[in-house]
Structure 1
């Protein structure tokens, strides 16, 4: 399964882009800010799109009782996620090499894809849970206390995906470059499964039985 193995290796290696490019981006725009404020979420931390964006966002959040933007040391995810991605890249390359030399079947390719999908869903769930806590667990002694029409405290949770109006801010939350690299890489590994299946079925039956015994 030489073609499938090469695709598996290539798709896995594309995940390395997550160590360079942001995974997610949140932009806050308002009339009083000619330049919107933005946050880029990386595997290992959160950075402002512009130099003083994090400082300005924390300043705004102070008035309504929101927590400051967490630093890498404040969240275990920023220490664990890079390790998890590194392991998945190494595992994907190993599976691809074994597939290239005909040591494993194509099912290993889709197995890696399935595991990476589960980890991705868990990561998004954790990210959404963090934003929920960030936007709803407010300081009761905040300078500004705003409520919904029904009297309940207003939530300032940014959207997980898409656009939302929060007071006079337009908030947009979308995947960034790193997420697109990850998506393309996973699609390539899924393609490796189907190509590997075709290559596997063309192998001499004796070789297939020998590998299955292993």
Structure 2
């Protein structure tokens, strides 16, 4: 059980990467932008992949009536997510230590993994909800009013995952380094659960 507990502690600590690296990245490439524009979504705010990317994205969005990208203080999520992540890291380390001391069983490691899945799913749902509003709630007085072939207003929601074409832009949305560190930590918690279960069988 001690080996499983060490794996659990290491897995929880890997999630600390979210405080350093972005969780998600959205890139926009077009012929007029040989170096794609990008925004990195951190747990505490949105930053440009390069120095002037946010400014350039907001400038492009202005023409079609999209909102400016929100500042950290304009979204409650950017204040709440760091607290939730910190709590989950602390909880993961605590149950790892308790497991090492023989105070809790491997089931707690699985419980941490399940709770991370639930919180992650809620985060993705909230992120997608924001992107729907960001891409569809357009200014009716925008300089350019583009429509679909059926006459309905064109929307510009970025994909939650993968690639799509919006006008002449190729938009790609993928997990970034912080997300991969979090996923790795969650996988390690599953490994800790398995190792703990096997140690109890002996």
TM-score (norm 1): 0.93
Question: Which residue of structure 2 aligns with residue 207 of structure 1?
Answer: none
Question: Which residue of structure 1 aligns with residue 108 of structure 2?
Answer: 108
Distance 1:200 1:109 in 2: 14
Question: Which residue of structure 1 aligns with residue 11 of structure 2?
Answer: 11
Give runs of ≥4 in structure 1 deviating > 4 Å: none
Distance 1:108 1:171 in 2: 40
Distance 2:52 2:11 in 1: 36
* RMSD (Å) for aligned C-alpha atoms: 0.6
Question: Which residue of structure 1 aligns with residue 170 of structure 2?
Answer: 170
Q: Secondary structure at the match of 1:164?
A: strand
Question: Does the CA-based 8 Å contact 1:72-1:78 persist in structure 2?
Answer: yes
Question: Which residue of structure 1 aligns with residue 74 of structure 2?
Answer: 74
Q: Secondary structure at the match of 1:46?
A: strand
Q: Tell me the CA shift for residue 58 of structure 1.
A: 0.3
Question: Does the CA-based 8 Å contact 1:5-1:100 persist in structure 2?
Answer: yes
Q: Tell me the CA shift for residue 122 of structure 1.
A: 0.6
Task: Show the 5 A alignment for 1:175-214.
Answer: 175-202=175-202
Q: Secondary structure at the match of 2:51?
A: coil
Distance 2:136 2:165 in 1: 16
Question: Which residue of structure 2 aligns with residue 37 of structure 1?
Answer: 37
Distance 2:159 2:105 in 1: 41
TM-score (norm 2): 0.99
Structure 2 unaligned regions, length at least 5: none
Question: Which residue of structure 1 aligns with residue 48 of structure 2?
Answer: 48
Residues matched between the structures, number: 202
**Structure whose alpha-carbon radius of gyration is higher:** 1
What's the CA shift string for 1:61-96, capped at 9, x where partnerless? 000000001000110000000000000000000000
Distance 2:56 2:25 in 1: 16
Q: Secondary structure at the match of 2:172?
A: strand
Question: Which residue of structure 1 aligns with residue 160 of structure 2?
Answer: 160
Q: Tell me the CA shift for residue 34 of structure 1.
A: 1.8
Distance 2:94 2:49 in 1: 36
Question: Which residue of structure 1 aligns with residue 91 of structure 2?
Answer: 91
Question: Does the CA-based 8 Å contact 1:10-1:185 persist in structure 2?
Answer: yes
Q: Tell me the CA shift for residue 199 of structure 1.
A: 1.5
Q: Secondary structure at the match of 2:81?
A: helix
